[in-house]
Amino acid sequence: MLDEELLLESVETDYPSLVREALSINSDVEFHCSASLSENNYVWFVIGRALFIWKLKDEKSTINVPFVLTLPPSGLPYTVRTIRIYTKSNSSTVGVIAISPEGTIRHWPNISRNYIDSSIDLEREVALSLDVITYSEEAMFLLSTTTCSFFLLSLDTGRAPTPGKRQKMAYGIISKPLYTNANRSIGKRVSSVLFGDTAKHGSRLLKAIVIEMISRDHCDMNDVDDISEERLRHMYILALKSKTLQLYSVDPPSKAWSLDPTQLAVEHFANLVWNLRNIPEQSKWRQEMKVWLVDCVRIRAGVVILMAAANTAISTQIHFALGFLPIHGVKEATENFEWFCLLKLPTNETFRSTEDDSLMGLSLHLPLESQQCSHERIEGLLLVSRRFAYSIRLPDSLQGNAEVGRIHSASFIDDTLIGSACDTRFCYLLLKERGVNRIRLLPRGFDANLARSVLAVQSMSTSNGDTASNVDRDLLAEAFLLFAKGDLPASNSRVENLLGVRRTSVAQLCINYALDIVDDIPNDERWHAVGVQTRRKSALTESSFLLKVHLDEQKRKVLAMFILFLKYMGLDAKLDMTVHSQLSDSRSARSQMAELTEKVDIAIGLYAWCEVRLFIHLFFSCSFVFVCFLFGSRTYRVWRIVLHFIKIRVR
């Protein structure tokens, strides 16, 4: 496969003016600013108590006007983790739920209407995150606190509360405690009030993931209540703390098991980093080794955990690794990592155990479409730090110590990271100066601005009376267009379909398509003057009649992109076959493709020389008129000789 590079593709070069103004006013309070993006491409910014929401669009000319909402009063700073944007089933209405760190719920059933305030008793705990429970017919949310209490929130649809169950109506929001730490003794609660939360840092929740272990096909009930109850019985909460991993069941609410992955990771780190392979050596250094759980993402039938380790007796440098733990259910806890791999980040970014905030800002992202498929032609697992983004392609089989693919990195050192999130397909960075950026892993030399030009090529007339050949060409053209748009998995799928059903050789298809690109006649007035008409009209040719623009954009760049497409999809190896074309009857498609590239370069060079020649003639002609005007006709004959000599030399 070709060499690839990780790019930050600009989606919105700047934020809406209201957001930009708020950022400039609050430039000195970066801690109170955060941002995220939902799966349905809504962006939300939190700056102080102001919440900005707008729809992300892939059109740079579109001006987005955000909704500006006010969050409830709070003595603690807000983060985007306790705010969620949702859409109701069978409706385009957008709703917003925001929860303050103290537990005040502000609900906008419709983003353009008034809000409804309510509250939930967190027992002096602090709200950490609000997550949407997926695959639910109703909008349901999981509220997590920093000390690992969980509450189920659902929208009130007019039904009465279920008798005999502990739940509270909250003006459109039904709150139900699932697992709380409220059963602490009076003494501990008084100590918490007087001296703060005395729990160890290792017991603080880092992340909660909702896991559903039942397919939607298994829910064949007709009643909405029965469907919700059935799904809740197969939903679990995976809680990641800095030292432990715990699984909770939703219905009935209970803790299923608790696991210490740091103890499992010590041996792996000792072997792979410090080469401590025997038990006595490990025991000697174990007390000096520190292992932290940083983040985790759901993948396949388990979870991938990002871990950090340092051996303070040797160095303060922190090393990173990924480990895969399968999730079998509530009855059985995993005993060991099925897969463990050390990460070697390809940058000079260093992390030290002596720095308290060294691991802050590290986050893992895995888009929904990447959780069940191969990572061969996608970005894979994304690791985001405060200065870099890393793309990690996981192996197809998460077994043993299988190595990950080459790790690629993209830097944003010159900017400030406000937030990161992913939709169903891509991961995004929200930067202070550069706006919203999509993280893309693309072949080196890929031009993300050529999709429009490639689309113009699609309208070329190539009918030759051979229906089978036209079908093959359409598949090739569709694959190339998807490639130019950056949808590499879909493009690869079309190529596989082409190879499976084609009736024409790949080499013949490729050279015919390349000839269509190069032989396209520009919509130029000078061609029309000699009786040559443009074969078609397209958005590109109608926008400009300049020959140079046409050659440069429509021919050289598109042809170079087509060659890159052939190499990336593995079709380049099939160009060694001899094919028949307008160029030759006895040469390979590869040779003819190289000739086309050279001819386009020569044409552009000749046109550039003509421009220079025209400029020289204009310069000396103007000089001639000016000199004759100043010195009279005696210099006329001298200047005519000079111009004649220059004309000969230019030719």
| pLDDT tens digits for range 533-588 | 554 444 444 444 445 556 666 788 888 999 999 999 989 888 888 888 888 888 99
| pLDDT tens digits for range 499-511 | 887 777 888 889 9
Those residues with Cβ within 8 angstroms of residue 332's Cβ, 6 or more apart along the chain or in another chain: 257
User: What is the pLDDT at residue 166?
Assistant: 56
Q: At which residue do the structure tokens 């080459």 appear? A: 406
Burial class (CB in 10 A: 0-12, 13-18, 19+), 606: exposed
CA atoms of 460 and 513, how far apart (whole Å): 10
Q: Across-strand partners of 68?
A: 52
Those residues with Cβ within 8 angstroms of residue 366's Cβ, 6 or more apart along the chain or in another chain: 297, 298, 299, 304, 380, 381, 382, 422
CA atoms of 456 and 431, how far apart (whole Å): 33
Provide the token pair at 72.
């409830």
| pLDDT tens digits for range 251-276 | 888 888 999 999 899 888 988 888 77
User: What is the pLDDT at residue 134?
Assistant: 61
CA atoms of 68 and 46, how far apart (whole Å): 10
Look at residues 443, 267, 272, 270 and name the one whose alpha carbon lies nearest to residue 344.
Answer: 272
User: What is the pLDDT at residue 517?
Assistant: 81
Q: Is the pLDDT of residue 649 over 80?
A: no
Q: Across-strand partners of 142?
A: 131, 152
With a pLDDT cut of 70, the percent of the chain lying above it is: 74
- Residues of 95-130 as b/e, b for ≥16 C-beta within 10 angstroms? bbbbbbbbbbbbbbbeeeeebeebbbebbbbbbbbb
Average pLDDT, the chain: 80
CA atoms of 142 and 130, how far apart (whole Å): 6
User: What is the pLDDT at residue 145?
Assistant: 94
Which pLDDT band, with edges at 50, 70 and 90, does 219 fall under? very low
DSSP for 452-488?
A: HHHHHHHT-----S-HHHHHHHHHHHHHHHHHHTT-H
More confident residue, 386 or 283: 386
Q: Is the pLDDT of residue 382 over 90?
A: yes
User: What is the pLDDT at residue 521?
Assistant: 63
Of 50-54, 166-170, 394-398, 630-634, minimum mean pLDDT range: 166-170
Those residues with Cβ within 8 angstroms of residue 375's Cβ, 6 or more apart along the chain or in another chain: 381, 393, 394, 396, 405
Provide the token pair at 100.
């303050």
CA atoms of 382 and 604, how far apart (whole Å): 41
Cβ–Cβ < 8 Å for 451, 427: no
Provide the token pair at 332.
């059985």
User: What is the pLDDT at residue 164?
Assistant: 58
- Region 604-632: what's the mean pLDDT? 68
Q: At which residue do the structure tokens 């007390």 appear? A: 287
Query: Which phi and psi (to 5°) does residue 346 adopt?
Result: -85, 35
User: What is the pLDDT at residue 613?
Assistant: 72
